[in-house]
Amino acid sequence: MGTEQRKIRLGLVGVGGVGAGRLDEALAAPEAEVAAICDASEANLKAGAEKAPNAKTFSDAEKLFASGLCEAVLLNVPHFLHKPFAVAALQAGLNVLVEKPMAIRIGECDAMLAEARKAGKILTVHHQRRIGIDGRRRLVREGGIGKLVRATYLQNGVRNNKYYRTGKWRGTWKYEGGGVLVNQCIHDIDAFVHTGGQVAEVRAKLANLFHDHEVEDSCTAALEYPNGATGTFAVNISSFSPSNVCEFEGDRAVLVCGKTSRLGRLPGGGAYDFYDAGDDAPMFAKKPETQWQDLPAEEPFAPGSLVRDFAQAVRDGRAPLVDAEGAREAVHFFNALVLSHFLEKPMRLPLDPAQVDEVFDALAAGKMRLHRAFTA
């Protein structure tokens, strides 16, 4: 049987919540067969077995890893379990697709990466915002907008308190690792860093404005890039505003990202011709007539596409769409924002993993706190 026909034997750890959807996607993937499922909840496991009657069931993840039934696993578990489960699976010789975020702390990501290299196995992360953004990444990273001058990211969203009551691990520093940054907006962070590159410094302010939990529901940050460019990053799940912005401005063009992205090119020599036009130029000159073009629409995310990509990568011996090193940089950015707020100072990257651990340990122990700002 040729490699193009071989089905990858998958195991799934966690088949409730998000895991139930991943099980559906795995069952629908022509490149895979579901050989085993695992969940600590009897109800989840029973429901999963009804969907996948040919899969062997486990209530202990490590027993699934050691069973020999699978060559790859999907880890659909709470954030604090990502690192230990991924490391255990890799040590058992399995390829791993872990739910977002890669982990809570960069030191955990480093341990996962080291184990993947040692085992010679694939480690990837379910960051679906990576799909279809390579074109805009090339524009920013390869000079298509000139030198990066400014980046702007604004994402307004909502989650109510009921959402956080769906799991005891949610909304906690110890088990979820944070709020909007590590949960709802980690996909945004991954796409933002993947497109524009990692920052050199962050100055951040976190807040819990309206939620009955201990983590942040908003973040506002000033950014500095290695070349001296600056940026603004503001995300929340506490706003009814419809405004969302993602822009990368260079000295020769500006990229406005969205479902339909646009590239605006400055005429002539770009910003230099405008700002250095001499004393004959009007003192209050209007903005130059930027030439706008619509960019090809991003490929829409199709449920199951990253599960299929993972199975294909394992089958064909190729790299997956989402590189784990890049997914680590999303965690790196998130960690820097948290440290900047709680240490009350700008944070330069790269961070010291030991310092990250110190702050997150203090947060988990309740030694550092965010208090809800507004009540009815």
324-343 vs 106-119: helix axis angle to the nearest 10? 160
Instruction: Read off the pLDDT band of 205 (50, 70, 90).
Output: very high
Question: Which position has the token pair 């559906």?
Answer: 24
Among 233, 179, 177, 180, smallest CA distance to 202 is for 233
Q: Where are the domains of the chain?
A: 8-129+303-321, 134-300+330-364
Rounded distance between C-alpha atoms, residue 102 and residue 86, angstroms: 10
**Residue from 230, 238, 133 nearest 184 by CA:** 238
Q: Do domains 8-129+303-321 and 134-300+330-364 have the same CATH topology?
A: no
| Structural domain 134-300+330-364, CATH architecture | 2-Layer Sandwich (3.30)
Q: Judge whether 22 and 74 are in contact, CB under 8 Å.
A: yes
d(CA 17, CA 44) in angstroms, rounded, equals: 9
Beta bridge partners of 130: none
288 pLDDT above the threshold of 90: no
d(CA 331, CA 342) in angstroms, rounded, equals: 17
Confirm if 288 and 321 have CB atoms less than 8 A apart.
no
- What digits encode the pLDDT tens for the residues 92-134? 999 999 999 999 999 999 999 999 999 999 999 999 999 989 9
User: Average pLDDT in the 205-211 region?
Assistant: 97
If residue 116 lies in a helix (H) or strand (E), which one and from where to where?
A: helix 106-119
Contact in structure between 328 and 102 (CB atoms under 8 Å): yes
Model pLDDT for residues 317-364, shown as the tens digit of each residue: 999 999 999 999 999 999 999 999 999 999 999 999 999 999 999 999
Query: β-pairing, 72-75 with 56-58?
Result: unpaired
Spatial strand order of the sheet with 148-156 comes to: 291-294, 262-265, 253-256, 244-250, 148-156, 230-236, 218-224, 201-207, 347-348
Neighbours of 297 (CB within 10 A): 10
SS3 3: coil
pLDDT tens per residue across span 16-46? 999 999 999 999 999 999 999 999 999 999 9
d(CA 244, CA 38): 38
3-state secondary structure 59-87: CCHHHHHHCCCCCEEEECCCHHHHHHHHH
Rounded Cα distance, 169 and 308, in Å: 29
- Cα-based distances in Å from 38 to 42, 69, 130: 10, 12, 28
pLDDT of residue 4: 57
Q: What is the pLDDT of residue 104?
A: 98
The whole-number pLDDT of residue 287 equals: 86
Q: Is residue 3 scored above 70 in pLDDT? A: no
Please compute the mean of the pLDDT values over residues 172-192 and round it to a whole number: 97
Answer whether CATH 3.40.50.720 is correct for domain 8-129+303-321.
Answer: yes
**pLDDT band per the 50, 70, 90 thresholds, residue 153:** very high
Average pLDDT, rounded, for the chain: 95
Our measurement of the distance from residue 49's CA atom to the centroid of its chain's CA atoms, rounded to an integer in Å, reads 30
Q: Look up residue 111 and give its DSSP letter.
A: H
Statement: residue 261 has pLDDT above 80: yes
pLDDT at residue 296, as a whole number? 87
- What count of other Cβ atoms lies within 10 Å of the Cβ of residue 53? 8
Q: Percent of the chain scored above 70 by pLDDT? A: 99
pLDDT of amino acid 280: 82
Mean per-residue pLDDT for 186-200?
A: 97
Q: How confident is the model at residue 286 (pLDDT cuts 50, 70, 90)?
A: confident
Q: Which pLDDT does position 2 carry in this prediction? A: 47
> CB-hemisphere CA count at 13 Å for 30?
3
Which residue is it, tokens 């948290």? 338
CB 190 within 8 A of CB 216: no
- Predicted confidence at residue 77, as pLDDT, reads 97
